[in-house]
Amino acid sequence: MNPVYYLYLAALLFTIGATGVLIRRNAIVVFMCVELMLNACNLAFVAFSRLHGNLDGQIIAFFTMVVAAAEVVVGLAIIVSLFRSRHSASVDDASLMKL
Amino acid sequence: MSPTAVHSLWTTAADPISKIDAPKIEYGQLSPTLIVISAAIVGVLVEAFVPRRSRYYAQVFVSVVALAAAFAAVVGLAAGGYATTKGHIAAMGAVAVDGPALFLQGVILLTGLVAVFTFAERRLDPEAHGNRVDSFAAQAASVPGSDSERAAVKAGFTTTEVFPLALFAIGGMLVFPAANDLLTLFVALEVFSLPLYLLCALARRKRIMSQEAAVKYFLLGAFASAFTLFGIALLYGYAGSVSYATIAQVVDGSVRTVDPALANTMGNDALLLIGGAMVVMGLLFKVGAVPFHMWTPDVYQGAPTPVTGFMAAATKVAAFGALLRLLYVVLPGLRWDWRPVMWAVAIVTMLGGAIVAITQTDIKRLLAYSSIAHAGFILAGVIAMNPDGISSVLFYLAAYSFVTLGAFAVVTLVRDAGGEATHLSKWAGLGRRSPLVAAVFAVFLLAFAGIPLTSGFAGKFAVFKAAAEGGATPLVVIGVISSAIAAFFYIRVIVLMFFSEPRPEGPTVAVPSPLTSTAIALGVAVTLVLGLAPQYFLDLAGQAGVFVR
């Protein structure tokens, strides 16, 4: 199987994630879309790793997973604290500072 | 079949363990980062084991000692010649120890030290139930306005976790401008971003606004770092490596061994151009350049003011350091492609920041837009693509970070019943009521505007000179025009402070403890010294301005 197809898939997933970040309203869903983008990056890393025949890309995929996990911890803490104070996780409601 | 032959069918002899080379880590050269990160871990342990009553003192002590020790280590390394002749790449190619890295690390550590002073300030807010409080929430987990929040305030809780969080952020920032491969760059980016997201959410007053700022910063920051990561993946695909040196060689075409896979991907310019653009985009987001600046005003306004000052100063230093290294070390072979784009970014950043700042009515938002305009001025130096470009950017960053810290420290002093009085109308007549504070703030505003005898003038002059020598004269003209626009609103604030009648119900100026006074005094001192006698520091930046490859 040609590794290039995996790159197309990675680019597709990344685009779906980016579109989701831009059009969804719920902060949790937006965040899930960011995670989808990170996973698309992982797929690209692993596919390139196979293409080049070196292990760097696979090692980086592990780093990405750890970073994504840390990001989930911080992100959910922030989103949950905002949700508890205003009973809404919609990013459109967060407009106290609009000019 | 002999027994030994049968045996060899079942197993194969393992290579001797000694064949795995232990990585060679130059601990001495990495000591600034190691000191700060270990102090952050000590800070976490302090939170776990030290009684609540003495945590604040323990945390402040650990942070100040660690930052001072790390700064001493940076000075030691620079004095040992690592900034000039002995500059090299440490930690198996992951981290560069060279002039720009050490210079920026020194600036970040000093900024961090001053920021820790403003974090530790406990005299500005009125005492709550007999306890002195700082600018951070009593308990971040309690819902604003709830019983649990009142109980936490009554019990005198304070969020002393801000000190280890700040140390982790500083640790990441130290690595960021020194990162010498794309993986280290990404990990450092996240290590300094994640604590900053949390710090933004911790304000004591206006908590919902602060949490909102944190959500915005977090979602947009995570979005931008996902773009950076995909860019890194594409660059890795292009060059088959994430090391800066290897990518630069592949871009130049000077790489020695080309296997068939690399020969295939090397010919694919789309990977290089899209990948490079996405990585640069992530860095431009962090510096707050115009198409990616949307988060800046909201986050600067909502975050606790000491955090805003820290973020505005140190993040910009770290991110510009990383951007310089990326453009000068990895992608110089691509400069005919990135220079026009960066020209456009610099122009819209300078003009956009300066023009939108005119319409602002909140002092923190005003400073946020001014920081966007300053990002544009620094970008003009980055584009110069000559040795003066590097040294002028280094000098500008050092000058700018102290002005910013000082200005935000002054903002924490002007208060009314609701906390800080950030609306500009409340600053009217401040110069009559408290001339000293207003005069100090005027010095910072003049430095932002780039008036001679302040550090802002020396920095701007150096950057524009480098840009003009690098063939970017139109950029300099636009830079001077937007400086003039920016000077208008800085001067307007000064006029408002000194030449309008104070309102009867206007804000009061709190008397700070020596901590904030030190921060402001240092800001003024650096602003004036760099403005009156910039030559020594320009020479220092000039000596430090050579990247190691």
pLDDT, averaged in runs of 10, over chain B (549 residues): 49 62 88 97 96 93 97 95 87 92 96 96 85 88 90 90 97 96 96 96 92 94 96 95 93 85 86 95 94 93 95 95 95 90 95 93 94 96 90 96 96 88 89 92 95 94 94 93 94 92 83 93 95 92 88
Q: Give ipTM to 2 decimals.
A: 0.96
> Does the beta carbon of B234 lie under 8 angstroms from any beta carbon of chain A?
yes
Residue B513 phi, psi dihedral angles, 5° rounding: -75, 170
DSSP annotation of B161 reads T
> Does the beta carbon of B92 lie under 8 angstroms from any beta carbon of chain A?
no
Closest CB to B226: pick one of A27, A37, A60.
A37
pTM: 0.94
Which among B190, B193, B268 is the top mutation candidate for probing chain A, defined by the most A β-carbons within 10 Å of its own β-carbon?
Answer: B190
Mean pLDDT (chain B) is 91
Contact B236, B276 (CB under 8 A): no
Give the DSSP letter string of B423-465: BGGGGTTHHHH-HHHHHHHHHHHHHHHT-TTSHHHHHHHHHHH
Which among B147, B202, B215 is the top mutation candidate for probing chain A, defined by the most A β-carbons within 10 Å of its own β-carbon?
Answer: B215
Per-residue model confidence (pLDDT) at position B385: 87
Model confidence over B398-443: pLDDT tens digits? 999 999 999 999 999 999 888 888 898 889 888 988 999 999 999 9
**Interchain contact, B214 vs A27, CB within 8 Å:** no
Cβ neighbour number for residue B291 with a 10 Å cutoff: 13
Nearest CA distance, A1 vs chain B (angstrom):
15
**Interchain contact, B230 vs A97, CB within 8 Å:** no
Model confidence over A30-82: pLDDT tens digits? 999 999 999 999 999 999 999 998 999 999 999 999 999 999 999 999 999 99
Give the C-alpha distances (Å, rounded to integers) separating B487 from A33, B298, B316, B358, B401.
42, 23, 21, 10, 18
Model confidence over B48-107: pLDDT tens digits? 999 998 999 999 999 999 999 999 999 999 999 888 888 889 988 899 999 999 999 999
**Interchain contact, A51 vs B186, CB within 8 Å:** no
Per-residue model confidence (pLDDT) at position A13: 97
B512-529 burial string, b = 16+ CB within 10 Å, else e? beebbebbbebbbebbee
Q: Which residues of B touch A85 (CB under 8 A)?
A: 143-145, 207-208, 211
Nearest chain B residue (CA) to A44: B233
Structural domains in chain A? 3-86 (1.10.287.3510)
Per-residue model confidence (pLDDT) at position B10: 57
Contact B261, A51 (CB under 8 A): yes
The ranges assigned to domains in chain B are: 25-544
> Does the beta carbon of B184 lie under 8 angstroms from any beta carbon of chain A?
no
Give the DSSP letter string of B407-424: HHHHHTTEEETTEE--BG
Per-residue model confidence (pLDDT) at position A89: 83
Which among A4, A65, A96, A98 is the top mutation candidate for probing chain B, defined by the most B β-carbons within 10 Å of its own β-carbon?
Answer: A96
Residues in chain B: 549
Closest CB to A94: pick one of B144, B216, B232.
B216
